[in-house]
Structure formats: C-alpha cells, structure tokens
C-alpha cells in the first residue's frame, strides 16, 4: 500500500474528503519526524513506538571493489511494534 492508497482507505473509513485526510496524514508524518529529529520518541499505545537509535562508526567494504571503507556514526529512526499490533499480525 502506498501513500495515496492509504489516504483513500483512511478517507473511506472516516467518511472525510481525501484532501482533508491527506493533510491530516501529512501533519502526522511531520510531527513524528520533528519529534524524532529532536531526539524524542512517539508512543502510540497498542500500535508501537517511533524512536531513534545511535549507530557507532564502523568499518565496511565496498561491495563492488572489496575495498575497506569507514562508515560514519549515524542516528537511525526505528519503529518497535506494540503487543496489540503483533497480536493482530500473528493471528
């Protein structure tokens, strides 16, 4: 499912217009992104938690040449599914 399909599905569930639903979805994505950018986390009870994790610098290899290279430290966004979501998926 892509974003436009998600907007259509949300609009039909809520009986709201697609444009209004798209604005709501874009606002949700922006709020979650801003919170993660500021080092926070977003918990949606029963669904899951969006947070960031720090990845240490490490050595890697270029797959084309096999040459060793340095991979710099970075911060990655992570989603951890909640118990209710896991139960729904595993039924």
In the structure encoding, which two tokens stand for residue 58, read together? Answer: 């490490």
Parent domain of 29: 1-38
Position of tokens 């270029």?
62
Based on the domain organization, do 50 and 64 belong to the same domain?
yes
Q: Which helix (H) or strand (E) holds 75?
A: strand 74-81
Tell whether 50 and 81 lie within a shared domain: yes
Assess whether 57 and 20 both reside in one domain.
no
Q: Based on the fold, state whether residues 51 and 91 are members of the same structural domain.
A: yes
User: What tokens appear for 9 in the block?
Assistant: 């599905």
Pair 32, 73 in one domain: no
Residues contacting 27, CB < 8 A, separation 6+: none
Q: pLDDT tens across 52-81, in order? A: 999 999 999 999 999 999 999 999 999 999
Whole-number pLDDT of residue 81: 96
pLDDT, one tens digit per residue, over 5-58 is 999 999 999 999 999 999 999 999 999 999 999 999 999 999 999 999 999 999
Residues 58 and 20 occupy one common structural domain: no
Query: What predicted TM-score, i.e. pTM, was given to this entire model?
Result: 0.81
One domain for residues 74 and 34: no
**Do 24 and 55 reside in the same domain of the chain?**
no
């Amino acid at each position: 499912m892509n974003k436009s399909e998600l907007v259509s599905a949300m609009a039909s569930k809520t009986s709201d217009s697609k444009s209004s639903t798209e604005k709501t979805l874009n606002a949700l994505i922006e709020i979650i992104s801003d919170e993660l950018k500021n080092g926070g986390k977003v918990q949606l009870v029963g669904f899951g938690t969006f947070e960031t994790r720090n990845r240490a610098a490490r050595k890697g290899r270029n797959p084309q040449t096999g040459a060793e290279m340095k991979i710099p430290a970075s911060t990655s966004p992570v989603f951890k599914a909640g118990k209710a979501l896991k139960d729904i998926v595993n039924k």
